[in-house]
Amino acid sequence: MNSLLVALVATGIGLGIPLAFLWARKPLLRLKSQAYRFHELRDRLQLLNIQNKIDNTSPGYNFLMFSLNLAIRNAGTMSLSDVLKISRAVKERAEGNGFEEIAEDIRRQGEEAQKLSAEFFQALAVMLISNDSLTSIMFTVAKPLAGVLSKAAFSLVAAIGRTLVPQQTEAVREAREYLHWGNVLAPSY
């Protein structure tokens, strides 16, 4: 009996130490993974420019370069309110230039530019929801709820969320909007 207890304690310690180490490193891992993702997207954008597959004077290229640089500088390290400020800056830039104009320009650039821009919006949505645990949970719950609840019931749940946790609700809404923009820009096969 004692040997079984010793084995269980040793197993718990053996598993607990690596898990505690990973848990403590979670913010650093999130920072590195987000920064890597945005760097990779910017490198691909620049490669498309070098290969003359996207025009570096176009509104779509300029919007993507601005947004990617903004995301790289701030990936993984921000509080939710800071992530929302970055998100607003990207939205203002997109809407100020007319998102439809940017989307049309990106479509003219070709399939690779469309795919890259769709991936950028997906990565931006992930950044919005992954930097805050409550936002991540809300995003995970919102999608199934939207499909199960009636429109009126979902609106009531959303109104309660806006009252109780306004920043998290805004982050979820913006992440869903970025996913929609990514779907709009994704190449259709």
For 5-33, write each residue's pLDDT tens digit: 666 555 656 655 555 544 455 555 566 67
Q: What's the Cα-to-Cα distance from 100 to each of 94, 95, 106, 182, rounded to whole Å? A: 9, 8, 10, 13
Whether 101 contacts 59, CB under 8 Å = yes
132 burial (CB, 10 Å; 0-12 / 13-18 / 19+) is buried
If you search the block for the tokens 């025009």, which residue do you land on?
55
Mean pLDDT lowest for which of 61-70, 86-95, 133-142?
A: 133-142
Q: Reply yes or no on whether the pLDDT at 115 is more than 60.
A: yes
Read off the DSSP letter of residue 187.
Answer: P
Whether 128 contacts 174, CB under 8 Å = yes
What would the two tokens of residue 150 be? Answer: 């009636």
Highest mean pLDDT among 23-37, 71-85, 169-183: 169-183
Mean pLDDT lowest for which of 20-24, 76-80, 98-102, 137-141?
A: 20-24
Q: How confident is the model at residue 61 (pLDDT cuts 50, 70, 90)?
A: very high
Q: Reply yes or no on whether the pLDDT at 95 is more than 90.
A: no
Quote the mean pLDDT of the chain. 78
Res 178: pLDDT: 85
75 burial (CB, 10 Å; 0-12 / 13-18 / 19+) is buried
Q: Reply yes or no on whether the pLDDT at 107 is more than 50.
A: yes
Question: DSSP assignment of 100-130, as one string?
Answer: HHHHHHHHHH-HHHHHHHHHHHHHHHHHHHH
The half-sphere exposure of 32 on its side-chain side, counting CA atoms within 13 A, is 5
